[in-house]
Structure 1
Amino acid sequence: MKMNITSAAGVISLLDEPEPQLKAFALEKLNSIVDVFWAEISENVDKIEVLYEDSTFKNSELAALVASKVYYHLGAFEESLTFALGAGSLFNVNDTSEYVETIIAKCIDFYTKQRVKNIDGTEEQRKEIDPRLEAIVNRMFQRCFDDRQYKQAVGISLETRRIDIFERAILESEDVNAMLLYSLNVCMSLIQNRHFRNTVLLLLTKLYMGLQTPDYINVCQCYIFLDDAQAVADILEKLLKGTEENSLMAYQIAFDMYDSATQQFLLRVQNALRSTVPLPQTDPKKVGDEKEDSNMEEGKEKMEAEASETGSSPTPVKPQTEEEKKLADRMKKLHTILGGEITIGLHLQFLIRNNKTDTLILKNTKEAVRNSVCHSATVMSNSFMHCGTTCDQFLRDNLEWLARATNWAKFTATASLGVIHKGHEKEALNLMSTYLPKDSSPGSAYSEGGGLYALGLIHANHGGEITDYLLNQLKDASTDMVRHGGCLGLGLAAMGTARQDIYEQLKFNLYQDDAVTGEAAGIAMGLVMLGTKQSTAIEDMVAYAKETQHEKILRGLALGIALTMYGRLEEADALIESLCLDKDPILRWSGMFTLAMAYCGSGSNQAIRKLLHVAVSDVNDDVRRVAVTSLGFLLFRTPEQCPQVVSLLSESYNPHVRFGAAMALGIACSGTGLKEALSLLEPMTNDPVNYVRQGALIASALVLVQQNENTCPKVAHYRSLYSKIISDKHDDVMAKFGAILALGIIDAGGRNMTISLQSRTGHMNMEAVVGMLVFTQFWFWYPLTLFLSMAFTPTCLVGLNEDLKMPKLEFRSNAKPSQFAYPPPLEDKKEKTKEKVLTAVLSITAKQKKKEAEKKKDEEKMDVDDEKKEKEKEKEEEKMETEEGEKEKQDKEKSEKEKEPEPNFQMLDNPARVMKAQLKVLVMPEGSRYLPVKDVSHGGIILLKNNKPGEQEEIIEPVAAGGPKMEEEDEPEPPEPFEWTED
């Protein structure tokens, strides 16, 4: 018969017995009942500890296990862990009890802290790790391998800095390729220490290269993070010298690199390639100039002919073999890809081809605005709607209205042309020639400054030759408006190049101590030195920021400092700390933005904690607003987390904090249509403070960009809300400004662009992050609003053949056409509601007519009675007929709809508009002539292998810039030839 024990006193008393066997028996019993009687046993835990410490006692490990469990129940986890380590093999890591799970978690946490301190910490922080602790962790890893939990092993090995386990987990997994990709994503999104991340990336490149077919695309992505241009150049050279398929792979890597790397890195790759495989000697400035090319060819032929005649030549030209010609041709193509001309050209073609801007929205907005702020907002909204489409028809149709812009509004209006013609680089100088500074006839300084700013926006992050033009214009500028535009334009064109001559010129402009010029110079210095962490640049900027009396200059430098530390992670900690402790609030918010840029996209808990602390503790509203806004930059890789983090801040008593929460949601959740974000923004659109409403309206558009009613049902509500606010005469200007911008953002780039702060390859989209950061400064300076255009990314899929041309082909989207369709255009209400205007009738006249009618009615009643009945009968019959007709019509329409159900798929022509969510359902159709080098579900520009190289390809002809023209009527044919005589 089994008895239930009601007390552990009897078993505990056995611990006082002199016989070791009895003590061992007591410990075994206590181990089995400790989960029930731990409170009673805890009073005698010292006796158990004595047994553990007794070296002559054979069962000391069992004593340690019992003591560990007692301390666990008491909540003393550190003591519990210490005794668990003493229990040795008796502590079973494979047990699934709550006690074992908790102690293992504590064990890993403690081990991780110590490992990190030993690798990253100072000499005093480094300690030798308890081998027993390491043994438990090793057993835990073994458990992961036994259970085939390789992803778990990768995660814990990265946390504990165990590179040996990390490598083993990848190599022992069933699908090494998938595990490598998972590890790369984890490495890029979760590791917040730059040095350790580089160690992991080096190992990943080794593993990628060790595959049976090396994954060169991801290897090169790793090398971009490692900033190793030479290694990338070596891989590209190796691929170019290989088969046709290998050369396609090299082109694909080059396209992906252009999306991910800085101008400086791409330039270094090109230089490294030139040193190994020299290009055929041509003047780079004259590439594309056919006349010059033909002249060079003629000259070359002449030289060769002369050489053959004389039989000798001072510099004998060795004829190129077929292989060398092929390699030179491939190299030339690769250089054009790395130079970015092809990517920019393809995006431009896609945006011109697919432009679906609804100009009625702009027309309605234009008619509703009544002041200069809303006028400027409409001009900027138009530029966002037409971003990259080269379609400036709205401005041409409303030149008189546009001419109302004066002073800085004129500057902004001119600069907005740069957004419309973004990427239209070949014609940039011709397009902007009217507005650019001229020696002969000086024009408006505001227009000239705006023109230079526009050139920068057209060439953002792809300066090339225009950089030197802008540099010269800045040197020659005589007014602060032209210098302001020149600095911004130059900063944009030379972004991330770290060119010392440009930096020095900008510094010279900064030191002129002019408020307007200084603000732009401060921002531009940060743009040029983007992510370089150059100590002299930081010292220059911080020192001048502490000296200057101009708030505008201080604000410009505050942004510049933050941009210099882009992506530097822990390397920026010392600077952030010193800025956050400064007594000047502008430098403190510079510290917040520096933190946002350094840890951008990392989701670092430490950085988030710091921002949240400042958001609720700083005495200055600007600092608090910026701290909350900065959360968006940290969390954009995991947008679903942002609403949880800022939910309480969105209800803060402080309107600046509420505005910051709205912007953080807009930045982190941009282009996602996230319901949780919209549910937080909705109450803020009715906030009592107008600038909070402004922030909420702009943020909602950032979240809803390119969404339709199928992907996000709320979009219709927000579109009507924007229109309602704009048309309401009594609404505040600030809210109207937000609503007008929101209309432009939500339909960005002819409804073909989204906002994404990370590239398709998983890298941070540097251009987008910078654009978004400077855009937030519209709070102080409206012209900076145009920086948002840098965050717009075309949602395209472009297939290219080996000649880098677009062949005619189709992609299959396995979703209903309506799922990802364009939003329906607005209908012009004026045309629909043309009603007959009733004539006003006086009440006296109405009464008189009524009397006369009654009198007449009485006289003719008898005669008319029968007629009236007949008429009523006829009317009823007519009514029945019309009702039947309508019913038949409805039934017919209904049956037609039933007959033609919406297909479950859609065929998309190359180049195709493909939204991010649509990529998952995108495939190449069966039996297609072309085979993609990488999966089409990645989107972007994809190289295609032609499976029928012998057959002729149908190539898509490029569309002329300025958008597809309206179909013109056929011109009459010219008359037949004839001879004219005077008779």
Structure 2
Amino acid sequence: MQQTLSNTQPSARPFIAQINENIPELQIHGLKQLNKMIDYAWHEIDINSILNKIEELAEDPKFPERTLAASVASKVYYHLEQYEISLKLALESREKFDLNERSQYVETLINQCIEKYKKMKQAAFEANRKKKLLGENAQAEEEVEKIDEKMEIVIDKMFQRCFNDKQYKQAIGVALEARRLDKVKEAIELSGEHMEDNLGYTFQMAQVTLKSNDFRTEVMKLLLMIYQNRSDSGKFDYYKIAKCQFHLQYPDETAQLLEKLVQEPESESYLDAYQIAFDIHDKENQSFLKQLSESLEAKVKSHQEEDNKVVVERLNQIIVILSGEIRDRLYLQFLKKNNHTDVHIIQNIKKAVGNKSSVLISATVWSNAMMNAYTTNDTFLVDNLPWVGNLTNWNRFSATAQMGIIHAGNKNDAMKILGPYFTGSLAPEQPNSPYMTAGAYFAYGLIHQNQNSAEVTKYFLDGYRNSGQNESVQHGVSLGLGLVSMATKDQEIFDELKQVLYNNADSAIIGEAAAYGMGLVMIGANDQESMHEMLKHIEDQNHEKIIRALSMALALQ
């Protein structure tokens, strides 16, 4: 009669004894019975003798039920909470590891398998990326662990399980982390009527969770390919298509998209094109905007030759939107109309500060600039010029530059507002100062920030030639030029700022501003040549301010 552990649960000892026999039939019978009762009888299996015997059977190529032995050993190790060994043996058990079984054992090992697989795939992806960067003959820093074929089979089965259960987002999330573009594509294409939702989900995941820029680029290429190959064009999310094209730096393709939208005669899709243009101007860099505008201008000429007036008008409107003129006008109108700052607050601060402390006067002027940013309301500064005139040197530079904060975006009136500061004709009691002129150049850059044009660039370059080698003026010109050329990656402007830095190696005032300007021009460029030049200059530089500015410039890249 069998011994029992309780009234309902039989002991596993008879079946454990069968495993110690050298007769395969008995061993197989014992393993089958143990497999049925393993969840409550696992503690009866001696680790040093019986468990080792089961593992030996799992490794013995002559034993007919190797997979069963591996499955039993895996479950024992699972209950011992040695999950890595348990997973290894579960993979050895092949079909005995049933992914469709809804048990804690299976779910735990699946999670273990997925996490290990993701780490291995990410390591392999990074190793391949480094190999491409360093060349085929480059020595690998560390050996990348090879992924077991049995693990690949389990992961593929897990993906199939997600597809069968219509858990497409779960599959996409795992596939993205495991660098499996093939499964991302399969999950999106299988989602049927939910395809648009899953495309948006994948785009969001790529933007927010992926740390690898290289893999994010691969995902964007995949999404763009899926969008372009879809037959149900009426359901296109054109906004996400444009975002993918920007990430991939495809301005010509974006121009084609906008052209397609404005050409549809009986729909309002041209309004989508206008909104996309506004979004691009608000979120994308100047380099992309410039190339996109040039591509659209070429299309305008082509349509003019075909006498397609409606398309020409709409494309021209998009070019105007991309220039920022409409946005700036609307922003200024809105902020000016809704400016509810209390002038009495700043007047009371002025009374409390008095005329003696230059630091407090400067802080008050800064407060006024923050209160009235983008509103064009410079009444306080204009009405209190004698009081502001108590400022000297760099405080005067800051006070003048704050006109750029108040009038940011007011490009049409920029010279009218700042002209007196450039010419020194501000007021009879306000003699001209190089710090005021420098501040005016900085303010001019703030007004035109991130909206470069040939005319504005020429004005700043002329500023260098008209500075008379004055350090403070060149400081203001460099900062202003960097602001208007932000993220343009314009090599000519970068070289101009670099020459200013090199030609004034002994001037920390000029060198610091030129270095910041170089960084602003190359924001996000990751340009190896310019980074190497800046690093070399840091090594040769003694001025702490210039070293700090060049370090910031490198960080901006």
Fold-level match, TM-score > 0.5? yes
Deviations along 1:452-506, one digit per CA (max 9) or x if unpaired, are 0000111110022212201210232121111111110010011112222322221
CA distance in structure 2 between the aligned counterparts of 1:268 and 1:254, rounded to whole angstroms? 13
Gaps of at least 5 residues in structure 1 are 281-318, 565-983
Shift of 1:320: 6.9
Whether 1:460 aligns to 2:449 is yes
Number of aligned residue pairs: give it. Answer: 525
The question of 1:326 aligning with 2:314 is answered: no
Does residue 195 (structure 1) correspond to residue 218 (structure 2)? The answer is no
Report the CA distance shift for 1:49/1:330 in structure 2 as closer, same or farther (over 3 A).
same
Distance of 2:486 and 2:286 partners within structure 1:
7
Q: Distance in 1 between matches of 2:9 and 2:305?
A: 96
Contact 2:300 2:316 in 1 (8 A): no
Q: Which residue of 2 aligns with 1:182?
A: 201
Tell me: CA distance 1:155–1:248, structure 2 relative to 1, closer, same or farther (3 Å): same
Inter-partner Cα distance in structure 2 for 1:24 and 1:361: 90
- How far, CA to CA, are the matches of 1:71 and 1:329 in structure 2? 73
What one-letter code is carried by the residue in structure 2 that aligns with 1:184?
F
Deviation at 1:519, TM superposition (A): 0.9
| Aligned equivalent of 1:428, options 414, 438, 452 | 414
Give CA deviations for 1:360-393 in whole Å, capped at 9, x if unaligned.
3323433444633332222112111111100112
Q: Which residue of 2 aligns with 1:884?
A: none
Counterparts of 1:524-673 in structure 2, within 5 Å, are 524-564=517-557
Give matches, 1:907-922, under 5 Å.
none
Please point out which of 388, 394, 412 is paired with 1:402.
388
Letter in 1 for 2:285: T
Q: 1:436·1:447 contact (CA, 8 Å) conserved in 2?
A: yes
Gap change, CA 1:358 and 1:100, over 3 Å in 2: farther
Matches within 5 A, 1:947-958: none
Displacement after TM superposition at 1:22 (Å): 2.5
Give the counterpart letter for 2:298 in structure 1.
Answer: S
Describe the superposition over 1:632-686 as per-residue Cα deviations: whole angstroms up to 9, x where unpaired: xxxxxxxxxxxxxxxxxxxxxxxxxxxxxxxxxxxxxxxxxxxxxxxxxxxxxxx
For 1:165 and 1:236, the matched residues in 2 are separated by 31
- Counterpart in the other structure of 1:22: 26
2:398 aligned to which of 390, 404, 412: 412
1:620 maps to none
Match of 1:253 in 2: 276
Does the Cα contact within 8 Å between 1:471 and 1:502 map onto a contact in 2?
no
Aligned to 1:505: 496
Equivalences for 1:718-737 in 2 at 5 Å?
A: none
Paired with 1:382 and 1:473, the residues of 2 have a C-alpha distance of 28
Distance 1:277 1:363 in 2: 53
Find the aligned partners of 1:471 and 1:257 in 2 and give their Cα distance.
Answer: 28
Instruction: Check conservation: 1:14, 1:22, Cα contact below 8 A.
Output: yes
- Cα 1:443–1:118 change in 2 (3 A) is same
Name the structure 1 match of 2:114: 108
Q: Which residue pairs with 1:711 in the alignment?
A: none
Give 1:325 shift. 2.2
| Paired residue type of 2:526 | K
> Helix, strand or coil: the match of 1:433?
helix
Conserved 8 A contact 1:475-1:505: no
* Alignment match of 1:393 (pick from 379, 382, 388): 379
8 A contact 2:224–2:241 mirrored in 1: yes
Contact 2:434–2:472 (CA under 8 A) maintained in structure 1: yes
Instruction: Give the Cα–Cα distance (whole angstroms) in 1 for the partners of residues 345 and 250 of structure 2.
Output: 48
Report the 3-state secondary structure (helix = DSSP H, G, I; strand = E; otherwise coil) of the residue aligned with 1:427: helix
Q: Which residue of 1 aligns with 2:124?
A: 118
Separation in 1 of the partners of 2:150 and 2:238?
42
Cα deviation 1:762-816 (Å, max 9, x = unaligned): xxxxxxxxxxxxxxxxxxxxxxxxxxxxxxxxxxxxxxxxxxxxxxxxxxxxxxx
Higher helix share: 2
Query: What is the match of residue 881 of structure 1?
Result: none
Q: Counterparts in 2 of 1:473-872, with a 5 A limit?
A: 473-478=463-468, 479-511=470-502, 512=504, 513-564=506-557
**Aligned partner letter, 1:13:** A
- Distance in 2, Cα, partners of 1:503 & 1:476: 20
* CA displacement, residues 409-444 of structure 1 (integer Å, 9 cap, x when unaligned): 1100000010000000011011100111579x9920
Q: Could you tell me how far 1:4 is from its partner in structure 2? A: 5.1
SS of alignment partner, residue 402 of structure 2: helix
- Pick the aligned partner of 1:62 from 68, 74, 80: 68
Separation (CA, whole Å) in 1 of partners of 2:391 and 2:108: 67
Change (3 A) 1:368 1:104: farther
- In structure 2, what is the Cα distance between the partners aligned to 1:130 and 1:97? 24
After superposition, the CA RMSD in angstroms is 2.5
Is residue 225 of structure 2 the alignment partner of residue 212 of structure 1?
A: no
For residue 148 of structure 1, report the CA deviation from its aligned partner.
Answer: 2.1
Amino acid corresponding to residue 466 of structure 2 in structure 1: D
Shift of 1:510: 1.3
Structure 2 unpaired stretches of 5+: 132-139
Distance in 1 (CA, whole Å) between partners of 2:317 and 2:281 is: 14
SS of the equivalent of 1:387 reads: coil
TM-score normalised per structure 1: 0.51
Distance 1:507 1:552, change over 3 A: same
Q: Residue by residue, what CA displacement relative to the aligned partner does 1:96-143 show, whole Å, maximum 9, x if unpaired?
A: 433322211221122223323333315764565322111111121122
Preserved contact between residue 176 and residue 184 of structure 2 (Cα < 8 Å): yes
Per-residue CA deviations over 1:805-851 (Å, capped at 9, x if unaligned) read xxxxxxxxxxxxxxxxxxxxxxxxxxxxxxxxxxxxxxxxxxxxxxx
In the alignment, what sits opposite 1:702?
A: none
Conservation of the 8 A alpha-carbon contact between 1:418 and 1:455: yes
Q: Equivalent residue of 1:175, what SS? A: helix
CA contact (8 A) 1:522 1:560 kept: yes
Q: CA deviation at 1:145?
A: 1.8
Distance 2:544 2:346 in 1: 35
Q: Map Cα deviations across residues 36-90 of structure 1 (whole Å, 9 max, x no partner).
A: 4444422321110121123333322121111112223334333211101011122
Question: Quick one: distance in 2 between partners of 1:104 and 1:175?
Answer: 26
Q: 1:369 to 1:99 in 2, by over 3 A?
A: farther
Q: Could you give the per-residue CA deviations for residues 574-607 of structure 1, whole angstroms, max 9, x where no partner exists? A: xxxxxxxxxxxxxxxxxxxxxxxxxxxxxxxxxx
Show the 5 A alignment for 1:877-892.
Answer: none
Change (3 A) 1:558 1:320: closer
From 240, 259, 264, give the equivalent of 1:237.
259
Task: State the SS of the aligned residue for 2:111.
Answer: helix
Equivalent pair of 2:424/2:433 in contact (CA under 8 Å): no
Equivalent residue for 1:349, pick from 333, 339, 351: 333
SS in structure 1 opposite 2:421? coil
State the alpha-carbon separation in 1 of the partners of residues 323 and 197 from structure 2.
32
Larger RCO (CA under 8 A, 6+ residues apart): 1
Report the residue type matching 1:343 in the other structure. R
Partner amino acid for 1:505? E
- Show the counterpart of 1:298: none
- Whole-Å separation in 2 of the counterparts to 1:161 and 1:413: 53
Change (3 A) 1:163 1:73: same
Name the amino acid aligned to 2:380: F
Q: What is the distance in 2 between the residues matched to 1:504 and 1:203?
A: 37
CA distance in structure 1 between the partners assigned to 2:187 and 2:150 by the alignment: 22
1:223 match: 245
- Give the match for residue 134 of structure 2: none
Look up the SS of the partner of 1:426 in the other structure.
Answer: helix
TM-score relative to the length of structure 2 = 0.88
Specify the code of the residue in structure 2 equivalent to 1:133: M
Identify if the C-alpha distance between structure 1 residues 355 and 279 changes in structure 2 by more than 3 Å, giving closer, same or farther.
farther
